[in-house]
Structure 1
Amino acid sequence: MTGPIRLVALSAGLSTPSSTRMLADQLSREAASALGRDGAEVDVRTVELREYAHDITDAMLTRFPGERLSMVIESVRAADAVIAVTPVFNVGPSGLFKSFFDAIDIDIWKAKPVLLGATAGTSRHSLAIDYAIRPMFGYLKAEVVPTVVFAASADFGADADAHGDEQPLAARVRRASAELATMLRSGIEEAAGEAASDPAGATGATSATSGAADETQGPALDAEFSDFVPMDKLLGGR
């Protein structure tokens, strides 16, 4: 892979400052650190979706994103991975978060590595990220990092435990970020292996195979529909 690894962090917080943005920043920093340990250059862009709320609404109404939103969409399309963080309302993501995903092309997310985060006032909403948010990304066919990160308001001020272990939220952030880094490295290595192989030979072989399949498909289809009777003949006696 040439050039820096591109990360886009989407924060759907509705206030400034917001705990959602705080979590997005923690995840971005830790992910960049995890990826940079082997010398990789990492480019992080953070997008506050609240700044594009009107653009997102217009795109949903017209089905065409404006210039400002198009730039965000293209940055997501070009990103090697996305960090998506939303507040939880009524056991689900914020309307702003969901609207953004409704307003853009679903194909952008296919096989895209995504690290999920969510925030809420209390830990009572902690299951929302697995029951309401993760399934949405499964539908989008994104590659979701196994560990997701939920943070209640109290988590941001929590200290290390009595045994001196790492602060719980920091530990979850570090684990999820390490998994994202591993996922990206695997994808980069796989892509490099494919590029190192003989693409011309592979293409030629594929074309030849396709041609052979086309030659044999015709008779096979003819045999399959050999007993087909047109509807006009079926109705001819009526």
Structure 2
Amino acid sequence: MSRFRLIKAVLGPLLRLFFRPRVEGAEHIPGTGPVILAGNHLTFIDSLILPLVTGRQVFFIGKDSYVTGRSPKGRLMAWFFTGVGMIPVDRDGGRGGVAALMTGRRVLERGDVFGIYPEGTRSPDGRLYRGRTGIARLTLMTGAPVVPFAMIGTDRVQPGGRGLPRVRRGERITVRFGTPLEFGRYEGMDRDRYVLRAVTDEVMTEVMRLSGQEYVDMYATKARAA
């Protein structure tokens, strides 16, 4: 049994027991071939829940600091995060964005599922912020369809993205997937900034529709800094 299947077999029942996740539209995720899952990002546990509620393993970018610890706790974190599909990348350097983009491209070119949060960071206040165009470049470079998704309620289970998730009576998490988006009409235009923005905005419009969040036409990093 692979590490991913082992982790899913252990944590999946616990997730269902404590948080009773409602999964809607999972049939929209293709059973084979490359696909990008693009959604909102409310709290840290989003990246733990997403792989556990999908039929296919989801690979995603994570901070390399999550897997570099040498203590017993650090080694356990590294085993867990890489097991569920996290690919560590140094995102703080000047070339971090390029490294993340190329990593996603490799995942898709081998026919796997790549998960991405176009906002680039967690929402500072529960609203949906402007998407960064890396998602557009990925789908145009690889031809992979984009399945938008929405996390609903995870910020109430783990407010602020810190500490252990809270088990609260009557609280439920919903993961909602939309129909795949295809952008073949823009083939060969992955360097056109107007096309990249149009594709990104189309994806974010679908995420907004699925999540019901208020949209803010500002990058989340700028809002967080302010």
Taking structure 2 as the reference length, the TM-score comes to 0.32
Whichever of the two has the greater Rg, that structure is 1
